[in-house]
Amino acid sequence: MRDVPDSHPRAVSLRIRNAIVEGVEMGITSPHGLLAHGRGEAFDYLIGEKTQPFAKRAIKAAAALLLTAKHPVISVNGNAAALVPVELVRLSKVIPAPLEVNIFHASKKREKNIKTLLQKKGAENILMPGNAVLEYIDHNRRFCNREGICKADVVFVPLEDGDRCEALLKMGKKVITVDLNPMSRTAQKANITIVDNIVRALPLLVKETGQLKKRKRVQWKKIIRNYNNKAVLKQALYRIKR
Ligand code: PTJ
């Protein structure tokens, strides 16, 4: 259903689904992205399709970590690009940090389409993969940019598969993710895990980063020091089991 009426009880969820389907049709999202989205939807249902307090805590810590970073980078895949292109561009400007196109299912055409979409949404700093290779992984995500993920100290990797998260950590980088499944490898391993739908989390992250930017570095550091990702994951699991 393309014209979802407001009266439909699942209108919001159906509209998000449409954005992913359009992403596939536009050559931005991989067909595999539809399956990943379905998995996300199931977990969203279980957390009540709302941004829960544990996600708000993680969003605040993520904003603080992105602001303290020397070389923060935002990694963009086909699902994130289809769902929140405008917010990714806004986040890139507010931090500021480059956007780096990095996809799991190899396709030069899709990488180009994602770049074009981000440019259309106003992105000024977009890096493409290919002039550097990450250690510890063998698939397409190993191709990165020398000036981006390769040299980053903090990488924002929403809707990620676990391999690269582990590789980035082994390379000494800090990883922030958005993942509705608190049990996924990425969610478990990341330094900061925002267990929320990217569609709700990204606008909040942009807002929080903008607000924290007005405060001092010492306050960002205090937020990071007081943050406990294990506790956040535990709270998310508790919410799911309830
Ligand atoms: O564009 P590509 O080729 O890089 O492919 C992107 C996908 C997402 C297909 C790829 O990274 C992949 O297969 O990821 P996984 O391993 O399925 O992991 C994606 C994670 O994101 C899963 O744990 C999902 O539960 C979660 N997820 C899916 N949709 C959302 C989500 N989390 C937050 N918000 C969503 N909308």
Beta-bridge partners for 177: 193
CA–CA separation, 90 and 132 (whole Å): 26
pLDDT at residue 170 greater than cutoff 90: yes
pLDDT at 160: 87
CA–CA separation, 180 and 195 (whole Å): 5
pLDDT at 146: 95
**What are the tens digits of pLDDT across the range 52-78?**
999 999 999 999 999 999 999 999 999
**What are the tens digits of pLDDT across the range 12-41?**
888 999 999 999 999 999 999 999 999 999
Residue 242 is given by DSSP the state: -
pLDDT level of residue 7 (50, 70, 90 thresholds)? confident
Give the closest residue to 168 by CA, choosing from 194, 137, 129.
137
Mean pLDDT for 200-215 is 98
Ligand 1 pocket member 23 (CB < 6 A): no
pLDDT at residue 2 greater than cutoff 80: no
pLDDT at 163: 86
Mean pLDDT for 226-239 is 98
- 92: tokens are 């890139």
- Strand 72-76 relative to strand 174-178: parallel, antiparallel, unpaired? unpaired
| Count of beta carbons in the 10 Å neighbourhood of residue 158 | 23
| Count of beta carbons in the 10 Å neighbourhood of residue 203 | 16
More confident residue, 234 or 6: 234
Ligand 1 pocket member 89 (CB < 6 A): no
Q: What is the 17 CA–ligand 1 centroid distance (Å)? A: 13
Q: What is the 90 CA–ligand 1 centroid distance (Å)? A: 21
Residue nearest to atom 15 of ligand 1 (CA): 161
Mean pLDDT for 129-154 is 91
Ligand 1 pocket member 197 (CB < 6 A): yes
pLDDT at residue 93 greater than cutoff 90: yes
pLDDT at residue 1 greater than cutoff 70: no
Place of tokens 């509705």: 180
The four Cα atoms 113, 117, 122, 124 give a dihedral, to 10 degrees, of -20
* DSSP code per residue over 159-215: S--HHHHHHHHHTT-EEEEE-S-TTSHHHHHSSEEE-S-HHHHHHHHHHHHHHHTTS
CA–CA separation, 13 and 193 (whole Å): 22
* DSSP code per residue over 101-138: E--SS--HHHHHHHHHHHHHTT---EE-S-SEE-TT--
Whole-number mean pLDDT of the chain? 95
Lowest-confidence pick of 129-138, 144-153, 171-180, 196-205: 129-138
pLDDT at 182: 98
Mean pLDDT for 216-226 is 98
pLDDT at 3: 82
